[in-house]
Amino acid sequence: MPFVRIDLIRGRRPDEVRAIADATHQALVDVLGIPERDRFQVVTEHDADHVIALDAGLGFERTDRLVMIQIFTQSGRTTEVKQRVYRNIAERLEPLGIGGEDVFIGIVENGSQDWSFGFGRAQYVEGVLPVPGR
C-alpha cells in the first residue's frame, strides 16, 4: 500500500532508474511485509539545478547520484521499523553506485480513510481491502 515518489537528477539510463525503483520496492516488501504486487511508485527526473539538497549541517556533500524518496503509508509503524526501512533501502542502493550521502528518505503517515485505489471509493474504509497491520 505504500505510495512511493522517487526524485532523481536527470541523466540516468532507463535500466538504472528501474533498478532504483526495484531496490526501493524490495526493501518495503522485505521490511514491511507488503505483497510484491502492492507497488505504487512515481519516478521523476529533474534538471540538476532544480534539485537543492544540502546536508542539514551533517558535514557531507551530496552528488548528482542523489536519490530522494518519499514513502506515503498508513500510520502505526514503529521507529525501529522505519529505521530498518531506511537502512535496507540505503544498502540496496549502494551496489548501484549510490552512496549513503546521496540517499534521502522521508516517511509520511496517514490513515486508512486517506486512500482510494480506484472508482472513487475508500476501499479500506469500506472493508474491501484489509487495513495493513490490523
Grid coordinates representing 74 are: 498508513
Query: What is the residue type of 41?
Result: Q
User: Which residue is it, cell 514503529?
Assistant: 78
The beta-carbon contacts of 52-57 under 8 Å, at least 24 apart in sequence, are 53/104, 55/101
16: which residues sit within 8 A by CB, 6+ positions away?
Answer: 96
User: Cα separation of 117 and 72, whole Å?
Assistant: 14
Burial of 99 (0-12, 13-18, 19+ CB in 10 A): middle
DSSP letter for 59, please: S
User: Cα separation of 113 and 13, whole Å?
Assistant: 38
Active centre residues (catalytic): 2
